[in-house]
Homo-oligomer: A and B are copies of this chain.
Amino acid sequence: MKLKDLGERRVIQIIRRRLDGRGRGDVRLGIGDDTAVVRGPKNLLLTKDLLVEDYDFRPALCPPRLLGRKALNVNLSDIAAMGGRPLHALLGLALPVETDAKWLLAFLDGFRGAARAAGVSLVGGDISEARKIMISVTVTGEAETFVRRSGARAGDLVFVSGTLGDAAAGLRIIEKAGRPGKDRIAGPLLRKFLDPAPRLELGALLARRKLAAAMIDVSDGLSVDLAHICEESGAGAEIDLARVPLSAALRRFAEDPLPLALDGGEDFELLFTVRPRNAARVRKLAGRFKLTEIGRITAGKRIMAVDAAGRKRPLKIRGYEHFR
């Protein structure tokens, strides 16, 4: 059954039945009126991400259930990077009329799973036709204390969660194979690309305990996102290349994994800076949240890479950008 056989009203009914999030006590009005109405928190976080077919994903290479998860989770990653708690979502879906209803159901199923896991209620959105799939998700959140990109200061230590470069490797594997593979090396790399996890618990904890001075999620690549922090903070940085966290799978996949870790996008890990006085408290969290100390913030504006022998060279800033 295709969307054109269902019609718009039926499609909205399906979304409403599967996803309408009256789960949260603060939702006064969900899907089905002119706007949603929710109770506004003191500090309201607002974020929006677009996913465009052929540019941000390829349907043939991306199972719809995972795409539904990812469409929400990339937004939750932005909330995590502020140290916030996600609350509500709006879902905008532009779909070809030939889209199979099964695709939509699987997409919604994935979206719902990710929403439930994070305690997020879908409260509204819009649908339209398009020749190519376009997904626009808006997420609200709240944060008693929030962490900006601009809070870094010379002397801060730079930490990152998880490992870097895996998603970029996963993308290459998929694009080469023309389909999601299943072999043992590729498994974790593919998973990181197709099903990234927002670091909500870590972000909220760092904000609540005031441990992160500046924070961003690594979506464009470590080099670009570190540059964002430095630019907004008016500071420089030094990164110890030998400390950049690489997974065993990435080391097996690439002879030279470092460029993928430095410039590959879509890691959705948290990159944050820590005042020296807080370093010991953050190091205590390292095991639980897989944190690695990879460098330090410096005076001036230069971002340098330090190799194992202690030699410094400017870090090339070349993550993914649109319109290039």
Contact = CB atoms under 8 A, between A and B. Distances in A.
Interface of A: 3-4, 6-9, 11, 28-29, 32-52, 54-56, 78-79, 81-82, 84, 88, 90, 92-95, 97, 123-132, 134, 136, 138, 140-143, 146, 148-150, 215-217, 232, 321-324
Contacts of A92: 48-50, 92, 136
Given A50-B92, A126-B136, 11 more contacts: A9-B321, A33-B150, A34-B217, A39-B44, A44-B140, A50-B126, A51-B128, A94-B134, A97-B323, A128-B322, A130-B132
The 10 tightest CB contacts between A and B, nearest first, are A40-B40, A40-B44, A136-B136, A34-B81, A35-B47, A8-B321, A35-B45, A34-B78, A48-B90, A36-B46
Given A127-B322, A324-B4, A46 B55 contact: no
Contact of A34 (B82, B142, B323): B82
A47 B97 CA distance: 24
Contacts of A55: 94, 128-130
B136 A50 contact: yes
A266 to B, nearest CB: 13
B54 A131 contact: yes
B48 A124 contact: yes
Nearest to A80: B34
A211 to B, nearest CB: 17
B88 A46 contact: yes
B33 A82 contact: yes
A215 B29 CA distance: 14
Contacts of A46: 35-38, 88, 90, 123-124, 138, 140
B130 A48 contact: no
Nearest to A232: B32
11 contacts: A34-B216, A36-B47, A37-B146, A44-B140, A46-B90, A46-B123, A50-B93, A52-B134, A55-B128, A129-B322, A131-B132
